[in-house]
Amino acid sequence: MNAHDSEKVIGTLEHEGYLRVADEADAGLILYNTCSIRDKAEQKVFHRLNEYKKLQGEGKRFAVLGCVAQQEGERIFERAPYVSLVSGSASYRNLPEMLVRLEAGEQRITGLDDRQTEQTFDTEFTARTNPHHGYITIVEGCDKFCAYCVVPYTRGKERSRASASVLAEARRMVDAGFTEIQLLGQNVNSYQDPSSRMSFAELLAAVGSIPGIRRVRFTTSHPRDFTRDIVEVIDAVPTLCDHVHLPVQSGSTRILAAMNREYTREWYLERISWIKAARREISMTSDIIVGFPGETEAELEETATLLEEVKYDAVFCFKYSPRPNTPAIALADSIPDEEKSRRLQVLLDRQREIQRVSYARHLGKEMEVMVESHNHARGQVVGRSSQNKTVNFTVAQPILPAVGSYQMVRITQTFPNSIAGEALAG
């Protein structure tokens, strides 16, 4: 989502007449897009800004964008006085006006929104970095207020983009040669069409039915808004990828309540049962936080048993870290960092064994792979399956298939995090 924000900002600047340069030293304007989801983000930002300080020159300007900008606001000017512009993501729509003021000589410009803004940042000027796979933001912000999460305070409230606007952008992308589209949102399945025309599942079907689309993905779903019709539409529309990322965060109902996730372990597992009952084999991935304040060894084990019950194809595990302004910051973070690291490793070891067994089910099967890159050192092609798995494969012909093309592959080897195979002729 941050990468796509950068694409939209770059496109907006280029539309205003700016040109990208290859080297920061040659830039008249340097924009630093930031994220505050993880611990010590602010320290990293100011460390990087200190590195930029040596690039100061006549007329060179610096801007800080994104969540750290929204979180820190004008304090950035105090710690980095050579910065001229600070803008949170909810204010990117005002960038052209702010740039005019910057060019006119203003020294300190602030673009910050409270979380009540109704506007989204959709633009026709997105500078997409990948000519085959592209993103469309359909929901911005978050209304969930999980106890550990800073996003509602930096991204604002949930606001959805009209379905007609989403579909128009998807059609433009297809006309430009894109074959894979990924719909984005902090909680993408919380989508509420402002025109009251389409549910999230209906929007998925509509995007997936556009002629020329080969694949549609969506990230990230929230369990509270995950409905059965999402599974039904994946079953019904072949272009929808058979992959669901559904963050659980903990396998303990008590910890989930402390996190303010507003669902129980059993409630979550019911959604998983819908996915497992689908006609298509849908890959499942998740996010997990270890070491949340008060988590016991028994509750860690509950999370481990959840991994084994669901059998995710991948999990992204993180150690809990207190974030500014969040309710959990008032809780005593009584679990030492070394203990959090141990717990993290426990889950990673369990999950690696699950994936070793799970990925083996693909051995001998055929799957369609979208080519992403070439590994010339190994003589391999690197691609991704509809289930969002990395596939490394070899080809018999001397000319490698083009990036962005699709290739049928027979799987000959499996590993805990990837699979390998041979391209089929034809």
DSSP state of 331: S
**Final residue belonging to a domain, choices 315, 339, 360:** 360
User: What is the residue range of 408's domain?
Assistant: 363-423
Q: How far apart are CA 313 and CA 286, in angstroms?
A: 9
Calculate Rg over the CA atoms of the chain.
23
How much is the pLDDT for 119?
81
Cis bond before residue 220 (omega within 30° of 0): yes
116 domain residue, yes or no: no
Q: Are residues 368 and 354 in the same domain?
A: no
Residue 411 sits at φ, ψ, to 5 deg, of -80, 125
How much is the pLDDT for 114?
77
Whether residue 342 contacts residue 331, with contact meaning beta carbons closer than 8 Å, is answered with: no
Q: Are residues 173 and 297 in the same domain?
A: yes
Whether residue 253 contacts residue 304, with contact meaning beta carbons closer than 8 Å, is answered with: no
**Final residue belonging to a domain, choices 360, 383, 404:** 360
How much is the pLDDT for 17?
94
Q: How far apart are CA 290 and CA 276, in angstroms?
A: 26
How much is the pLDDT for 150?
92
E-state strands within 230-363: 243-245, 283-290, 314-319
126 domain residue, yes or no: no
- Taken in order 176, 182, 184, 188, the sign of the CA dihedral is positive
Q: Are residues 230 and 153 in the same domain?
A: yes
Q: Are residues 319 and 380 in the same domain?
A: no
Q: How far apart are CA 166 and CA 216, in angstroms?
A: 13
124 domain residue, yes or no: no
Whether residue 184 contacts residue 4, with contact meaning beta carbons closer than 8 Å, is answered with: yes
E-state strands within 208-282: 215-219, 243-245
User: Would you state the structure tokens that stand for residue 235, as one six-digit string?
Assistant: 């079953």
118 domain residue, yes or no: no
Q: Are residues 356 and 403 in the same domain?
A: no
- Taken in order 198, 200, 205, 207, the sign of the CA dihedral is positive
Q: Are residues 190 and 334 in the same domain?
A: yes
Q: How far apart are CA 232 and CA 311, in angstroms?
A: 21
How much is the pLDDT for 392?
97
How much is the pLDDT for 379?
87
CATH number (domain holding residue 184): 3.80.30.20
CATH number (domain holding residue 15): 3.40.50.12160
CATH number (domain holding residue 418): 2.40.50.140
Please count the structural domains in the chain: 3
101 domain residue, yes or no: yes
309 domain residue, yes or no: yes
Q: Are residues 349 and 404 in the same domain?
A: no
Which residue, 123, 213, 153, is CA-closest to 177?
Answer: 213
**288 Cβ contact list (under 8 Å, min separation 6):** 247, 248, 249, 250, 303, 315, 316, 317, 318, 347
Whether residue 94 contacts residue 116, with contact meaning beta carbons closer than 8 Å, is answered with: no
How much is the pLDDT for 236?
98
Q: How far apart are CA 388 and CA 390, in angstroms?
A: 7
User: Would you state the structure tokens that stand for residue 10, as one six-digit string?
Assistant: 């770059």
Q: Are residues 312 and 207 in the same domain?
A: yes
120 domain residue, yes or no: no
CA 27 to chain centre: 28
Q: Are residues 251 and 374 in the same domain?
A: no
Q: Are residues 157 and 76 in the same domain?
A: no
CA 222 to chain centre: 13
* Predicted confidence pLDDT, tens digits, the chain (426 residues): 889 999 999 999 999 999 999 998 899 999 999 998 777 778 889 998 988 888 887 778 999 999 999 999 999 999 999 999 999 988 888 999 999 999 998 999 999 987 778 788 888 889 899 999 999 999 999 999 999 999 999 999 999 999 999 999 999 999 999 999 999 999 999 999 999 889 999 999 999 999 999 999 999 999 999 999 999 999 999 999 999 999 999 999 999 999 999 999 999 999 999 999 999 999 999 999 999 999 999 999 999 999 999 999 999 999 999 988 899 999 988 899 999 999 999 999 999 999 999 999 999 999 999 999 999 888 899 999 999 999 999 999 888 999 999 999 999 999 999 999 999 986
Q: Are residues 352 and 367 in the same domain?
A: no
Q: How far apart are CA 306 and CA 412, in angstroms?
A: 30
Whether the model pTM is above 0.85:
yes
Q: Are residues 104 and 168 in the same domain?
A: no
125 domain residue, yes or no: no
**131 Cβ contact list (under 8 Å, min separation 6):** 176, 177, 178, 404
Whether residue 148 contacts residue 320, with contact meaning beta carbons closer than 8 Å, is answered with: yes
CA angle centred on 419, ends 418 and 425, rounded to 5°:
145
How much is the pLDDT for 93?
87
**Final residue belonging to a domain, choices 344, 360, 376:** 360
